[in-house]
Amino acid sequence: MAVNREKYTELNAMLKAKGVTLVAVSKTKPVEDILELYELGQRDFGENYVQEMVDKATVLPADIRWHFIGHLQRNKVKYIAPFVSLIHGVDSWRLLEEINSQAGKKGRVIDCLLQVHIASEETKFGLDAAELGEVMDNLAKPETAARVQNVRICGLMGMASFSSDTSLVRSEFHTLHSLADLYKERTVAAWSPGILSMGMSADFETAIEEGSTMVRIGSLLFGERKKPADS
């Protein structure tokens, strides 16, 4: 299925007017499709798989901002550390320390989002509210904060339940927004909130109504994927 250019133009204008950033999720799609949106001005692209993102980044224009939105294994951080723009799925302190370590080796500060588990489904990754609190506490304690000086945490990310029940989806996004509000005023070094990454093809309108500042949209722009996302 081809890239839906009309949909992109319409969506992009609507999101720009609302001040919401569009991450075009290009996982499993060929580089030609990415280039098609690139030529229309799109620069933020999201990928779920490390090897695929590395392969694409190697051949595509250097001013693309690559968002890693999948589940990131610690032993693979090193492959994306040189170029990744934003890592959405940070779901443990140990992963954050590994990102910090690889960022340091590359002389970079890597922007990250903490992924919070908001869906009622068990399968999705992410921190629960208590674990998020622990990460925030670590950021505030000098001895642990010293271990993450090469990361900047720019906010939270979450995925709602895969459900047609809009009120359920809305309440999950609402929960994420409330958590973001809870920590908004924290002034600790690595914490620089402002991004609330929530909303995909099926639920981005609800997400925006609930305060999303960044949506991750794939199938609406690139067509359905052959294999379902394993995230």
Ligand X SMILES: *Cc1c(COP(=O)(O)O)cnc(C)c1O
Q: Which residues bind ligand X (CB under 6 A)?
A: 25, 27, 48, 69-70, 159, 200-202, 216-220, 229, 231
- Closer residue to ligand X in complex, CB, 70/155: 70
Q: Are 101 and 76 in contact, with CB atoms under 8 Å apart?
A: no
Rounded to the nearest whole angstrom, what is the least distance from the CB of residue 198 to ligand X in the complex?
Answer: 9
Structure-token match 């309440």, residue found: 171
Whole-number Cα distances in Å, 60 to 12, 29, 35, 84, 118 = 21, 13, 8, 13, 34
Nearest C-alpha neighbor of 73 from the set 230, 219, 225: 230
- Closer residue to ligand X in complex, CB, 193/223: 223
Rounded to the nearest whole angstrom, what is the least distance from the CB of residue 127 to ligand X in the complex?
Answer: 15
- Closer residue to ligand X in complex, CB, 119/220: 220
44-47 and 65-68 strand pairing? parallel
- Closer residue to ligand X in complex, CB, 138/213: 213
Closest CB to ligand X: residue number: 218
Rounded to the nearest whole angstrom, what is the least distance from the CB of residue 158 to ligand X in the complex?
Answer: 9
Instruction: Identify the three-state secondary structure at position 115.
Output: strand
Rounded to the nearest whole angstrom, what is the least distance from the CB of residue 185 to ligand X in the complex?
Answer: 28
